Amino acid sequence: APASCGGSCTHDQLEWVEFFKQLEPFVAACRSAGKSLLSTLSQLRNEEVPHQITRRFLNHQCRQITKALESENIQKLGREGNKTLTSLAERSQWLANSADVKRCNSFANDSYNSVEKVTKRMEQLKQERIERLKELARFRTLQDEADELLSWTKKVGEETLNSLTLLLRSAGDSAGVKEVANDFEKFFFNAWRQIEKSNDLYEECKNIKEF
């Protein structure tokens, strides 16, 4: 029984009221935040993944995650959560004999930690999609370079070879033949550089994750 009734237990009614006045909206905020984050996670998991991942799809998912993480409730919990838990712990010391206070204080910590866990998971998912966007951009760049190389090989290379062949046929003396030979050597050197470049592109592509 409380000391005021002749018992040995002390009870601070003011601290009791203040504790629950602070606890209840905090737990409600955690519940609301958790529900919102889990809803977004569910949407992400249930979305139909295209056969070929695109920038549009990845950007869409990043926007969904960002919207959830930047909601006012989540941001406020991130700013004030630990401070609120510390305050609740301090108040609970004045109500140490109350099993309800201990249970509620523990529940508040568990609720906040659950939100923190889901928040970190969402941040991880967002970072994974950002990295995949970077990889996709690299892949597109390599594709463009490969197309450029192929275009050079088909067009410029073929035109140069045809031109050198005509020059060789029309060469009237050894000096003319030597000049064509020098031009061919330059062409061969340039072609070799393109081959080396294609090898570099091939090696680079092997380092990119599949989409």
CA 193 – CA 26 distance, rounded (Å): 65
**Residues constituting the chain:** 211
**0.75 exceeded by the pTM?**
no
* pLDDT digits 0-9 by tens, 2-40: 444 444 445 568 888 999 999 999 999 999 999 999 999
Q: What residue segments make up the domains of the chain, in order of their start?
A: 3-206
Tens-digit pLDDT string for the chain (211 aa): 344 444 444 556 888 899 999 999 999 999 999 999 999 999 988 888 888 888 899 999 999 999 999 999 999 999 999 999 999 999 988 888 889 999 999 999 999 999 999 999 999 999 999 998 988 888 788 777 777 777 777 777 777 777 777 777 777 677 776 776 777 777 777 777 766 776 666 666 666 554 4
* Residues 195, 200, 203, 208, Cα dihedral to 10°: -130
Listed residue (51, 53, 44, 47) closest to 136, CA to CA: 53
* Of 75, 60, 35, 64, residue with least CA distance to 122: 64
Torsion of CA 22, 25, 27, 29, to 10 degrees: -140
Decide if 164 contacts 183 (C-beta within 8 A).
Answer: yes
Phi, psi of 9, rounded to the nearest 5 degrees: -85, 140
